[in-house]
Amino acid sequence: MSTQARVLPDTGSLAVGDAKEQLRRVLREHRTVHHPHPEQGHNATCERLTSHILQAIAGMDTVAAYVSVGHEPCTRLLLKQLEESGTDVLLPVLGPHLSRSWGRLRAVADLAERSPGRPPEPSGEALPATAVADAQAVIVPALVVDRSGRRLGQGGGWYDRVLPLRRTGAPVFAVVHDDELVAGPLPVQAHDAPVDAVITPEQWFLLDGSAFAGGPAARAGRAQ
């Protein structure tokens, strides 16, 4: 059974930047109340989400992902399974002079908070932002996604800058909670890069307008 999507406040009278900030406040508060962080690392919801992400990236040798924190949909179990399978995983790190960089996952046990306020990062060399071109897919966090692929992130601009650097043909998969896929439209600006698919604990599928619709990537899964 599908979880009912969130009903978002009407922000049509606001400037785009103000509309985004209002939606972020609402969505963060909702996550805090309705999507508590698993106390023991992962739970059945994490397992279903991990299964769908693995379906979406099946056969890929290198992917870019992220380390979940707080009330985000969990990726810790995913990273552990990718480590065990030998998949090459790129994770965001803060590089020299606060540059947006990547690091290679060595082991989940190696992840640590290396910069104040940042998600845990792998040790080792910081790779340039252009290293994302090594990835066959990019798995990104989001606060909400609409069915046309518009994504609202946390507002730091990380993925607005790195997604244009990905290789040609690499899909972008946004990971959200079940109720964070909405009809939209979400407010967007010129620099906002659309995503190709949404992955939730309940299901995953390509979104309207994706360049991969009808192709080999158009697999879809639903939780049993």
What are the structure tokens assigned to 82, written together? 């990718």
Report how far residue 70's alpha carbon sits from residue 204's, in angstroms, rounded to the nearest whole number.
22
Range of the domain at 129: 16-222
Domain count, the chain: 1
Q: What is the pLDDT of residue 111?
A: 96
- 7 in a domain, yes or no? no
- Closest by alpha carbon to 173, among 210, 139, 132? 139
Place of tokens 């910069």: 115
**Ranges of H-type helices in the chain:** 16-34, 44-56, 76-85, 158-162
Is residue 6 in a domain? no
Task: Give the sheet arrangement for strand 197-199, strand by strand.
Answer: 100-104, 88-94, 62-64, 138-141, 172-175, 197-199, 203-206, 221-222
pLDDT along the chain (224 residues), means of 10: 68 90 94 78 89 97 96 95 98 89 96 88 95 98 94 89 94 96 91 93 86 56 45
pLDDT score at 40: 58
Please report, for the domain that includes residue 196, its CATH number: 3.40.50.10420
Q: How far apart are the first and last CA of the chain?
A: 10
